[in-house]
Chain A
Amino acid sequence: MSKKKHVTLNVNGKTEEFLAEPRELLIYTLRERLNITGPHIGCETSHCGACTVTIDGKSVKSCTMFAVQAEGAEITTIEGIGGPDNLHPLQEAFKEHHGLQCGYCTPGMITRATKLLEEIPNPTEAEIRFGMAGNLCRCTGYQNIVKSIQAAAAQMSAAKEAAE
């Protein structure tokens, strides 16, 4: 029997402490231990990006990281980005521009897109496709996903200008 490890994480602003087997993947910690079910398990092989979360400011696939590796980390999931009563501009844009069909990839798409727009506030279509390359949509809704991200970028830039 392997030795369990004490893990402390901050998820969406809340501190979580627990004992985990070293082989526990972060996506299972989030979904099954903490009941944070926004990040999805699509392929569980690092390809699809449905499990994408932000760890210490960077997009990471939570199916390809052990919970013990995230010791002390700050994690943001889709739940920490916006909710029904306070949609993030990206969530609003995905809704308005039909950026989702079945919705399975959407939490990962939007979580990744929040970081993409921090890296490149006004990305071109090519930059969006390159920057979102780790997130797959099986409904093949890429055209509208690109449109949604562009619309959110425009909205966020306008809001930032208005604030300045």
Chain B
Amino acid sequence: MYETNFHKAATAQEAAALLNRSEDGKILAGGQTLIPTMKQRLADPTDVIDVSAAADLRGITIAGDQVTIGAMTTHAEVAGHAALAALCPSICKLAANIGDPAVRHRGTIGGSLANNDPAADYPAAALALNARIHTTSREIAADDFFEGMFTTALEDDEIITAVSFTAPAKGGYGKFPNPASRYAMAGVFVAKLADGSARVAVTGAGEDGVHRHDGLEAALSADWAASAVDGVEISLDGLLSDLHGNAAYRANLVKVMAKRALG
């Protein structure tokens, strides 16, 4: 690992200021991706800015059907939040199946969204739930946030502070994890919004990372049932082929995971 400087920020704004002053700074949230990446010398930030002490980035707030999750909320905290589970169990179930227990104690929702790993789970939830990503300078709709593999709309010195969404009428997540990494080989989040329309987001399967699926959305908007998925054609265009599985295999997984998400 290359050497680096370490800072601890007490607030999100202080972290943004430190980031702005750094030559090539990185925010350190739970560190479950950044630290392995630094070990492999794939990242060599001049400065790492630890935001674990920033109280304004933590916690889950529920007001009616509005959910706000602070960026530094860990996967274990989301998984174990009783009030959130009562309102939107699908996101708790998703969080409970990220990585393993030790990873869930450190990894955070903000870190996951900012990293936008093409096989991460949270981007699918944010996109399907039509979430809003709050940052130190603005609010970004999920539809405008994810810009392809490991790429987001975040500016260099912009930090995610929270993610918020309206609890869906119904929702579910189906994931086929790679047995070694537990990242999704295909993960499908389905959400039936209050107006009855369906949003479906697919992670792990696309060459450009998380994306919505028009065909599945149309089918589920018309009929919210696993049987409605049968008639949907999953195009191989843009699906990932790698040593874990080719595009046809992933297309089939998308269909099966969509059905599992519908329970």
Point out residues on A near B: beta carbons under 8 Å.
Answer: 1-3, 5, 21-23, 25, 44-47, 49, 52, 58-61, 64-66, 68-69, 71, 112, 115-116, 131, 133-135
| Residue contact B101 to A2, C-beta cutoff 8 Å | no
Instruction: Determine, out of B102-110, B194-202, B224-232, the stretch whose residues face the partner at the interface.
Output: B102-110
Q: Which single residue of chain B is at the shortest CB-CB distance from A64?
A: B35
In whole angstroms, what is the CA distance A3 to B2 when docked?
13
A23 interface neighbour in B4, B180, B182, Cβ under 8 Å: B4
| Residue contact A45 to B39, C-beta cutoff 8 Å | yes
In whole angstroms, what is the CA distance A22 to B105 when docked?
21
| Residue contact A46 to B38, C-beta cutoff 8 Å | no
Known: A64-B36, A65-B106, A69-B28. A22 touches B101 (CB 8 A): no
In the complex, B76 has a CB within 8 A of chain A: yes
The count of A-to-B residue pairs whose CB atoms sit within 8 angstroms is 78
CB distance from B243 to the nearest CB of A (A): 17
Point out residues on B near A: beta carbons under 8 Å.
Answer: 1-6, 8, 28, 31-32, 35-36, 38-39, 48, 50, 52, 76, 99-103, 105-106, 180-182
Known: A64-B106, A134-B100. A23 touches B31 (CB 8 A): no
In whole angstroms, what is the CA distance A49 to B103 when docked?
10
| Residue contact A65 to B35, C-beta cutoff 8 Å | yes
In whole angstroms, what is the CA distance A160 to B3 when docked?
49
CB distance from B114 to the nearest CB of A (A): 17
B52 interface neighbour in A21, A23, A59, A69, Cβ under 8 Å: A69
CB distance from A160 to the nearest CB of B (A): 23
| Residue contact A59 to B101, C-beta cutoff 8 Å | yes
| Residue contact A23 to B103, C-beta cutoff 8 Å | no
In whole angstroms, what is the CA distance A44 to B36 when docked?
8
In whole angstroms, what is the CA distance A132 to B37 when docked?
24
In whole angstroms, what is the CA distance A116 to B100 when docked?
12
| Residue contact B48 to A22, C-beta cutoff 8 Å | yes
| A residues less than 8 Å from B2 (CB atoms) | 23
Q: Which single residue of chain B is at the shortest CB-CB distance from A53?
A: B102
CB distance from B9 to the nearest CB of A (A): 13
A64 interface neighbour in B31, B48, B181, Cβ under 8 Å: B31
CB distance from B65 to the nearest CB of A (A): 30
| A residues less than 8 Å from B101 (CB atoms) | 59, 112, 115-116, 131, 133-134
